[in-house]
């Protein structure tokens, strides 16, 4: 029975084995070489750690175009000779222009002040071509007034305070005020300060009249005259600076040359540290110097006096701010020796109660 079943199978396999596949395009009668087996590493079927490293010198496998029928392609054959391959590459960056931008000494570089000749043609203001010079003149005048030409003024009462010495001495008072009127660049500045003891004569008093000119965004140069009312009448020429130093320090410094030939200087600095929007702590220091001895004013050459202090003020409004504080006043050097010889205490601590206001 098994022989009867196997006989038809043998007869069927003989014609199949006799078929000739040599005529098929792209096929070979020879067995496929092992080198053409699929590369599972290149196809991503295997993890990198199981794939051997490839040699850099190993050439990439070339595509066999012999089996491809290019005649049956829908796309027309591309003519690579007419293609501009330079457009497909990444354009190179020309850095030579950067050197010309910073190197003004390069040959052919125009100066920054160079103006094309056509820029000087026509009227100074282009709007005059449309509306006329007479119609635009009022608008330009108003613009100049609103942008730097406006005149304003203010009076600032920096210190109006009573001083109570901690050693039981007489209670004194101090005022320090200034005002100004003008624009952003040019101003007239008025300053006054002095001190004394309640129930006694005025000890020191002075007034200053100054011309102030802005020399930068935060500083003004000031020059003018100062006149001392007490302890004796004396006039001084003044030159100084006033403004806002880095880290928001308010600075006011000046040099004074009196009509007696005395050269002195004063430097004041203060800083507003906000504890809250209304409560402000202000450290302040004042230094006085003299280039020579001034016996009639009991002043010696060198650093004559230093006054560091702290003031804590509360601004009910920015224009009205009472304060309390403490200040240490000390005469130094030869000036301290003169005070000791006169039986005076050269230094002392004082409690302060005062008001800061402006309008």
Summarised one tens digit per residue, pLDDT across range 112-127 is 677 777 777 777 788 8
Q: With H, G, I as helix, E, B as strand and everything else as coil, classify residue 314.
A: strand
210/206 Cα distance (integer angstroms): 13
Q: With H, G, I as helix, E, B as strand and everything else as coil, classify residue 221.
A: strand
Q: Alpha-carbon dihedral of residues 244, 248, 250, 253, nearest 10 degrees?
A: -60
Report CA-CA distances (Å) from 200 to 93, 163, 171, 172, 340.
Answer: 83, 14, 10, 9, 22
Q: With H, G, I as helix, E, B as strand and everything else as coil, classify residue 134.
A: helix
Q: Which class for 305: exposed (0-12), middle (13-18), buried (19 or more C-beta within 10 A)?
A: buried
User: Domains of the chain by range and CATH?
Assistant: 152-358 (2.40.160.40)
Q: What is the pLDDT along the chain (359 residues), one digit of tens a residue?
A: 445 444 444 444 444 444 444 444 444 444 444 445 566 666 666 666 666 665 544 444 445 555 455 444 444 444 544 455 444 444 454 555 444 445 455 666 667 677 777 777 777 788 888 888 888 888 888 777 666 667 899 999 999 999 999 988 899 999 999 999 998 899 999 999 999 999 998 999 999 999 999 999 999 999 999 999 999 999 999 999 999 999 999 999 999 999 999 999 999 999 999 999 999 999 999 999 999 999 999 999 999 999 999 999 999 999 999 999 999 999 999 999 999 999 999 999 999 999 999 99
Report CA-CA distances (Å) from 204 to 79, 175, 194, 318.
Answer: 101, 10, 5, 29
């Amino acid at each position: 029975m098994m022989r009867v079943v196997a006989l038809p199978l043998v007869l069927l396999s003989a014609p199949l084995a006799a078929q000739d596949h040599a005529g098929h395009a792209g096929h070979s009668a020879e067995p496929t070489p092992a080198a053409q087996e699929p590369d599972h590493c290149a196809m991503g079927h295997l993890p990198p750690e199981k794939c051997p490293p490839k040699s850099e010198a190993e050439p990439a496998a070339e595509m066999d175009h012999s089996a491809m029928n290019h005649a049956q392609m829908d796309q027309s054959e591309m003519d690579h000779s007419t293609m501009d391959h330079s457009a497909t590459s990444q354009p190179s960056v020309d850095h030579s222009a950067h050197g010309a931008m910073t190197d003004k000494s390069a040959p052919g570089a125009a100066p920054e002040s160079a103006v094309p000749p056509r820029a000087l043609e026509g009227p100074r203001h282009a709007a005059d071509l449309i509306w006329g010079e007479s119609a635009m003149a009022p608008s330009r005048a108003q613009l100049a007034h609103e942008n730097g030409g406006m005149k304003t003024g203010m009076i600032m009462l920096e210190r109006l305070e009573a001083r109570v010495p901690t050693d039981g001495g007489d209670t004194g008072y101090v005022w320090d005020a200034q005002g100004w009127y003008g624009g952003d660049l040019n101003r007239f500045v008025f300053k006054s300060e002095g001190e004394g003891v309640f129930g006694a004569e005025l000890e020191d008093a002075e007034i200053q009249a100054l011309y102030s000119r802005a020399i930068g965004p935060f500083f003004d140069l000031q020059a003018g005259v100062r006149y001392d009312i007490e302890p004796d009448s004396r006039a001084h020429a003044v030159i100084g600076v006033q403004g806002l130093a880095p880290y928001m320090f308010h600075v006011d410094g000046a040099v004074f040359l009196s009509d007696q030939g005395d050269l002195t200087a004063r430097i004041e600095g203060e800083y507003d540290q906000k504890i809250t929007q209304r409560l402000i702590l202000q450290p302040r220091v004042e230094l006085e110097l003299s280039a020579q001895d001034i016996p009639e004013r009991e002043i010696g050459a060198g650093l004559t006096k230093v006054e560091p202090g702290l003031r804590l003020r509360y601004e009910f409004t920015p224009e009205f701010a009472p304060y309390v504080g403490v200040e240490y006043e000390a005469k130094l050097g030869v000036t301290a020796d003169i005070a000791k010889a006169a039986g005076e205490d050269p230094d002392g601590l004082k409690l302060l109660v005062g008001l800061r206001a402006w309008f």
